Amino acid sequence: MDNLTHTLTAVALSQTGLNRKTRFATLTLILAANAPDIDVLTGFRGSVTYLKYHRGIAHSLIGITVIAIILWGLMYWVGKRVKPKPGLPFNSRWLLLAAFLGTGSHLLLDFTNAYGVRPFLPFSGRWYAWDIMSILDPLLLATLIVGLAVPWLLRLVSEEVGARKPRLVPGAVFCLCAMVALWGIRDFAHRRALSILDSRTYSGEVPQRFSALPVAVNPFTWTGVVETETSFHVVRVNALDAKGLAEEMGTFEKPQPSPALAAAMKTPAAKVFLDFARFPWAQVDENEQGYLVSLRDLRFYNPSAQSRSFTLEVQLDKNLQTLSETFYFVAPRSGTRD
């Protein structure tokens, strides 16, 4: 998930009452809820390196445990040296709980989207994804903002008029309950979408593998990616459609084996990409330099976008030697690269 969602979730967890158990609870929660994304620093070594290590060991069960303990030790050290606020205790056990809640919430939120996590690193590199939430989910983000902001505004007004201050706890509880309820709704719709994808044929072929991926805002509209024997199909599915219809968005025929494709698949970047991609589709184009092999993860296909997200391009010369390997999280427009 995006870091604003992680941060607001941490604030909601704190305001359920943990912030009254010990000093630095809110700060610890916020830092812990964002700390696993420290792997973003690998991006300085290139996009392929970032793809390899993003949501890696820092997003594993071992990783979030180590991060929580380190943050707890740091905040405990700081807390012992800062003059305490009268009436607010400093409790190392509650502080440790805050650290674990923060890192745990990060792993859980990232598990809910289609990108997924690898929780059992370094013992297993298998990806796990619930596939029910967008990486940036406007509905969840709006719920968190409203649930936290409204009680705070009411409290501000009450202070100004001299009335009794309303508690912030109900707003925090609302946020967390609404999040769980949204997960439940999306999970129900997700199962329905999977059933629709499995119930039909595609160009006369039965599905071999398929996934239903979330669409932002509308919890009942899903993007289905289906693999058959000869091709991949990307379809739009309405989980509320009683007829179980699916609207075709794109068909991608599997490429024929070729020396250029085989050479590209052996490159280090391709190995990283194939470890990540769930529905990799390849395209080979001949150009002046030799061959440009594009590998694309169809989970992130967007027919309305001019750019091609989550695409690896391997440029080979005419002797099938690698000239360049470039991965795009968001493909370039107007000559710019990401």
When mean pLDDT is compared over 167-176, 205-214, 308-317, the highest value belongs to 205-214
Nearest Cα neighbor of 293 from 274, 211, 46, 337 is: 274
- Write down the pTM of the prediction: 0.90
Do the beta carbons of residue 16 and residue 168 sit within 8 Å? no
pLDDT of 244 higher than 80: no
Do the beta carbons of residue 102 and residue 29 sit within 8 Å? yes
H-helix or E-strand containing 232? strand 231-238
H-helix or E-strand containing 291? strand 290-297
Supply 115's token pair.
């990108």
What residues contact residue 236 under an 8 Å CB cut-off, 6+ apart? Answer: 221, 222, 223, 224, 246, 247, 249
User: In which band, very low, low, confident or very high, does the pLDDT at 256 lie, cut at 50, 70 and 90?
Assistant: very high
Burial class (CB in 10 A: 0-12, 13-18, 19+), 176: middle
Looking at residues 156-180, what average pLDDT do you find?
A: 78
pLDDT of 335 higher than 80: no
Looking at residues 238-259, what average pLDDT do you find?
A: 89
CA distances from 323 to 43, 52, 113, 315, 316 (A): 21, 20, 34, 5, 5
Do the beta carbons of residue 72 and residue 96 sit within 8 Å? yes
Mapping DSSP onto H, E and C, the string for 17-77 reads CHHHCCCCHHHHHHHHHHHHHHHHHHHHHCHHHHHHHCCCHHHCHHHHHHHHHHHHHHHHH
Do the beta carbons of residue 336 and residue 303 sit within 8 Å? no
Residue positions counted in the chain: 338
CA distance 195 to 200: 9
Do the beta carbons of residue 127 and residue 118 sit within 8 Å? yes
Do the beta carbons of residue 79 and residue 89 sit within 8 Å? no
Do the beta carbons of residue 338 and residue 330 sit within 8 Å? yes
Q: How big is the CA angle at 308 (ends 270 and 195), to the nearest 5 degrees?
A: 85
User: In which band, very low, low, confident or very high, does the pLDDT at 165 lie, cut at 50, 70 and 90?
Assistant: low
pLDDT given for residue 158 in this prediction: 67
CA distances from 162 to 151, 155, 167, 193, 283 (A): 16, 10, 15, 52, 68
Burial class (CB in 10 A: 0-12, 13-18, 19+), 138: exposed
